[in-house]
Amino acid sequence: MDIDTVLSTAFAMPITAPAFPMGPYRFINREFLIITYRTDPVKLRAVVPEPLQIGDPLVHYEFIRMPDSTGFGDYTESGQVIPVTYEGVAGGYTLAMYLDDHPPIAGGRELWGFPKKLAKPVLETHTDTIIGTLDFGPVRVATGTMGYKHRELDLAVQKQRLEAPNFLLKVIPHVDGTPRICELVRYHLKDITMKGAWTGPASLELAPHALAPVAELPVLEIVEARHLMADLTLGLGEVAFDYLEKRNLR
């Protein structure tokens, strides 16, 4: 391959057989269980990078079932998203995600900078309860439950919440281990069609694990629970803040 060919095909690795196709990425019947809880404010501030700002010490713990996604297939995801503001605009900062499918792990990390690791999340309904679990190896590290469709939520409000900006800390090292790319990335969920939104009584239990440290942000109080169904498109990102550029300007 000549240089132009290399550059024209260099969107993913390996270059001759990428782990995922180029987007856009459309998700059909994407199902969310989102349990919002209050946590330790000191521990929360320690994991949110500047220039993002936090207000109330809240965390969204998410279980997401994706049975039909362009290029990524059928998979499930789980992790923590922290409500933040950037330049006065409210959004969410993804702290950690765990999933069971290689293409979205590779694509999420390479394109956007999603902090994704391989694990075994499950989201399913048992009789009258929707249940989310996360196993890292043989260890159960998260269990979330919510009463199944107890009360409907306003679809327009939930769509607006999903449309808020999302932030990621994208890190790609140089060959010597120093940061080659260190950026705050912003992306949006687009073309959202809400198919349902419900709430109900909920619980969340997090257990310690050295390599899946979800319990480092302890559950002090359950604030809210939501069960959502939607079709949506995962948009490509943009650089909101370049850490290396800011350092070099000092």
Exposure of 58 by Cβ count < 10 A (0-12 exposed, 13-18 middle, 19+ buried)?
buried
The band of 199, judged by pLDDT with boundaries at 50, 70 and 90, is very high
236 CB contacts (<8 Å, ≥6 apart)?
23, 24, 111, 112, 187
Considering the candidates 43, 116, 120, 159, report the single residue annotated as catalytic.
Answer: 116
Domains recognised in the chain with CATH numbers: 19-170+184-235 (2.40.400.10)
Alpha carbons 141 and 8: distance in angstroms, whole number:
42
Residue 11 binned pLDDT confidence (cut-offs 50, 70, 90): confident
Q: What's the Rg (C-alpha) of the chain?
A: 18
- Please report, in angstroms and rounded to a whole number, the separation of the first and last CA atoms in the chain: 40
pLDDT score of 221 more than 90: yes
Residue ranges with strand state E in the chain: 25-38, 58-69, 73-86, 89-99, 116-118, 120-126, 129-136, 139-147, 151-152, 166-173, 179-187, 189-199, 202-206, 221-234, 238-242
What type of residue is 245? E
Whether 163 shows a pLDDT value over 70: the answer reads yes
Distances (CA, A) of 20 to 23, 86, 104, 162: 9, 30, 7, 24
Please name the residue that has the structure tokens 């998700």: 27
Residue 250's pLDDT is what? Answer: 62
Q: What percent of the chain has pLDDT over 70?
A: 99
Give CA 41 to chain center in angstroms.
Answer: 21
* Residue 77 banded pLDDT, cuts 50, 70, 90: very high
Average pLDDT over the chain, rounded to whole?
96
Digit-coded pLDDT (tens) for 44-53: 999 999 999 9
pLDDT in tens, 102-127: 999 999 999 999 999 999 999 999 99
216 pLDDT band, cuts 50/70/90, is very high
Phi-psi region of 136 (alpha: psi -120 to 50; beta: other; left: phi over 0): beta
What is the token pair recorded at 193? 């069609």
Residue 96: band (very low, low, confident or very high) from pLDDT cuts 50, 70, 90 = very high
Q: Is 195 considered catalytic here?
A: no
